[in-house]
Amino acid sequence: MKKYEEMSDHELLMELVRDKKLRDRMRIVKIVFWAAVLIALAVLAYRYIPPVIATVQKWSTILEETEKTLQRVNDFSNSISEEAIQSIKNTVEKIAQFLQRLGF
């Protein structure tokens, strides 16, 4: 390849035209490449995001149901505890009454 100083005006002009065409082609290649990347990302998102969202929703539902069940168990255990305490108090009172009758 000749140096620019050694080229004629026509050769310089031809070199500039080739360079511009090359830059234009590279710009088009870049645009097509990024468009393909965006399309691929959109397809991947369309393919994989709905199952992920569905899984998260299932886990959320499971956690809510677990919390409700734990609250019911807690309420049930509290009611049993209160009943058990009341039963123990009644038993102690009966024993105290029995001991009073015996004179203790």
Give domain status of residue 18, yes or no. Answer: yes
Which pLDDT band holds residue 27 (cuts at 50, 70, 90)? very high
> What is the model's pLDDT at position 74?
84
Of all residues in the chain, the percent with pLDDT exceeding 70 is 96
- 65-100: b (≥16 Cβ within 10 Å) or e: eeeeeeeeeeeeeeeeeeeeeeeeeeeeeeeeeeee
Query: Which domain does 45 fall in, by range?
Result: 4-77
Give domain status of residue 101, yes or no. Answer: no
Q: Higher confidence at residue 69 or residue 102?
A: 69
Give domain status of residue 68, yes or no. Answer: yes
pLDDT digits (tens, 9 = 90+) for 51-78: 989 999 999 999 999 999 999 988 877 7
Q: Higher confidence at residue 104 or residue 39?
A: 39
Given the structure tokens 């539902």, which residue do they identify? 61
CA 69 to CA 90: how far, in whole Å?
31
Q: How many domains does the chain have?
A: 1
The pair of three-digit structure tokens given for residue 76, joined into one six-digit string: 């049930």
> What is the model's pLDDT at position 1?
61
Q: Which residues contact 5 (CB under 8 A, 6 or more apart)?
A: none
Give domain status of residue 51, yes or no. Answer: yes
